C-alpha cells in the first residue's frame, strides 16, 4: 500500500490542524464536564434518633437511589465509586407514625454531601416500618483474639472480660437468635507480661437492635513458663468386679510447664491420674494407659513417664 508523501509545509499544516482539533475537543470536554447533570447513586441508610420505647423493623431494603445533581466530573467518577456511600436518616418521627419521608429531611441529607452535590429526590421517598414491643436481653461476650507470645511466655490464668455481658434491646424475635456477642479481633504481639486493654464489640449489622456497652476491658494474664517434674499416684477406675489390682509402677512422673508465679504451689494435689481396668477387661490390652482426669488449665503437659503401666489382677 503506497504511503502519502507530504511536503515539509504540508506536514507542518497537518500538525497545526491536529493540534487545533485536540484543543477544541479538550475545550468541549472541559465545558461539558463542568455542566450540571442529574445522575443516580445507590447508598446505604444509617438510622439515628431511633425510638426508645419501640422495636422497629424496616419493611423495605436499607439501600435507596439518590437522584443527585452534580457536575459531569462527578458523574464520570460516580461510575467508578458511588458517593456518598451512606447517609444518616433520623427516625424521630416514628414516635408518632410508622413511616419516614425523605422529602422532610432533604436539607439535612444534603449537608452530608460535598458542597458541589445536591440531592433532588430519593427513591423510594417513603420508608415504612413495623413495630413490636421492645425487649432487653443479656448475652455473654465472646472474645476473639490473636495473641503472639514472647519465647517461654503464655497465658497463665483465665482471661477476664469486664463486663462479662452486653445488654441488647430490640424485637423479641430478633433477640431470640442471639446467644452471645463477639468482640473485634484483639491482636497483641510479643506478650511478656500481663496486659490490660480495651476491645470494641463487633459491628452491629441489625438496625433494629441496639447494644450496650460498645466496648469491654480485657485482662490477659501472662507469665513466663518453666519445666517442673511431679510424681503422681495412680488410681484404678471401673474396678467393681475385682478385689485387688496391683500396678507397676504405682506412680508416674509428669513433666509439665508451669507459670513461674505458680511454680511452688503446683503439686500432686492439683492432678488426678488414673488407669481404666476396662482397657484390659473389654479391650484386651496387656498394659493400662495412664489418663489425667484433673489437670490445671494454666499448665501444659510435656511428657508422662511411663505412659502405660503393667498390672496384676487378684480376684
| DSSP code at position 306 | S
How do beta strands 210-212 and 165-171 pair? antiparallel
Query: How far apart are alpha carbons 48 and 210 in whole angstroms?
Result: 11
The whole-number pLDDT of residue 146 equals: 95
Q: Are 87 and 72 contacting, i.e. CB atoms less than 8 angstroms apart?
A: no
- Please give the model's pTM, rounded to 2 decimal places: 0.60
How do beta strands 195-200 and 215-220 pair? antiparallel
Residue 108's contacts (CB-CB under 8 Å, 6 or more residues apart) are 90
Residues 221-274 pLDDT 10s:
999 999 999 999 999 998 877 768 889 999 999 999 999 989 999 999 999 999
Q: Which of 168, 126, 152 is nearest to 223 (CA)?
A: 152
Query: How far apart are alpha carbons 306 and 252 in whole angstroms?
Result: 6
Cis, bond preceding 268 (omega within 30 deg of 0)? no
The whole-number pLDDT of residue 148 equals: 94
Query: How far apart are alpha carbons 275 and 311 in whole angstroms?
Result: 10
The whole-number pLDDT of residue 41 equals: 77
Amino acid at each position: 500500500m503506497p504511503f502519502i508523501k507530504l511536503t515539509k509545509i504540508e506536514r507542518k499544516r497537518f500538525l497545526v490542524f491536529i493540534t487545533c482539533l485536540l484543543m477544541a475537543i479538550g475545550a468541549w470536554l472541559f465545558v461539558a464536564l463542568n455542566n450540571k447533570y442529574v445522575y443516580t447513586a445507590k447508598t446505604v441508610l444509617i438510622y439515628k434518633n431511633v425510638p426508645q420505647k419501640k422495636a422497629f423493623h424496616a419493611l423495605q431494603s436499607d439501600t435507596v437511589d439518590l437522584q443527585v445533581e452534580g457536575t459531569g466530573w462527578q458523574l464520570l467518577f460516580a461510575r467508578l465509586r458511588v458517593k456518598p456511600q451512606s447517609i444518616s436518616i433520623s427516625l424521630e418521627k416514628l414516635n408518632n407514625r410508622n413511616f419516614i419521608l425523605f422529602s422532610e429531611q432533604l436539607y439535612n441529607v444534603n449537608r452530608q454531601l460535598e458542597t458541589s452535590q445536591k440531592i433532588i429526590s430519593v427513591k423510594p421517598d417513603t420508608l415504612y416500618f413495623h413495630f413490636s414491643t421492645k425487649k432487653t436481653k443479656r448475652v455473654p461476650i465472646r472474645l476473639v483474639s490473636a495473641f503472639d507470645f514472647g519465647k517461654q511466655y503464655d497465658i497463665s490464668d483465665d482471661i477476664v472480660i469486664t463486663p462479662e455481658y452486653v445488654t441488647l434491646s430490640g424485637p423479641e424475635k430478633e433477640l431470640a437468635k442471639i446467644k452471645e456477642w463477639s468482640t473485634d479481633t484483639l491482636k497483641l504481639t510479643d506478650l511478656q507480661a500481663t496486659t490490660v486493654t480495651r476491645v470494641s464489640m463487633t459491628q452491629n449489622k441489625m438496625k433494629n437492635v441496639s447494644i450496650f456497652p460498645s466496648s469491654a476491658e480485657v485482662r490477659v494474664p501472662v507469665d513466663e513458663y518453666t519445666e517442673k517434674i511431679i510424681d503422681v499416684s495412680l488410681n484404678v477406675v471401673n474396678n467393681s468386679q475385682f478385689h485387688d489390682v496391683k500396678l507397676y509402677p504405682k506412680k508416674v512422673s509428669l513433666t509439665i510447664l508451669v507459670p513461674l508465679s505458680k511454680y511452688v504451689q503446683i503439686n500432686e494435689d492439683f492432678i488426678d491420674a488414673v488407669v481404666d481396668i476396662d482397657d484390659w477387661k473389654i479391650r484386651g490390652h496387656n498394659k493400662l494407659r495412664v489418663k489425667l482426669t484433673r489437670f490445671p488449665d494454666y499448665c501444659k503437659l510435656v511428657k508422662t513417664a511411663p505412659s502405660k503401666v503393667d498390672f496384676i489382677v487378684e480376684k
